[in-house]
Amino acid sequence: MVAERKIDELGAALADRWLSEEEFYQQIGAGATTVYRCNKCERLHIDQGGGNFSSYIKEL
């Protein structure tokens, strides 16, 4: 997941100058959170760092 604020920052950077592929991925990675979704139970597992995850399931 990438915060909307980070996407806006990247959009402004792209409008101001051309970013290389490497610069783009460095910028987007700096504001990203790794999220895994279980295909079986549809829970989201959010990487908190250090091997810790927070898990969420859709409420019905």
What are the structural domain ranges in the chain? 4-56
Structure tokens at 32: 């990203």
Q: Among residues of the chain, what percentage have pLDDT more than 90?
A: 18
Strands of the sheet containing 35-37, edge to edge, are: 35-37, 44-49, 52-56
Complete DSSP assignment for the chain: -B-HHHHHHHHHHHHHSPPPHHHHHHHHHHTB--EEE-TTT--EEEEEETTEEEEE----
Residue 32 pLDDT grade (very low, low, confident, very high; cuts 50, 70, 90):
confident
Whole-model pTM: value is 0.57
Task: Tell me how far CA of residue 28 lies from CA of 43, 46, 59, in angstroms.
Answer: 24, 17, 30
Residue 5 pLDDT grade (very low, low, confident, very high; cuts 50, 70, 90):
confident
Residue 46 pLDDT grade (very low, low, confident, very high; cuts 50, 70, 90):
very high
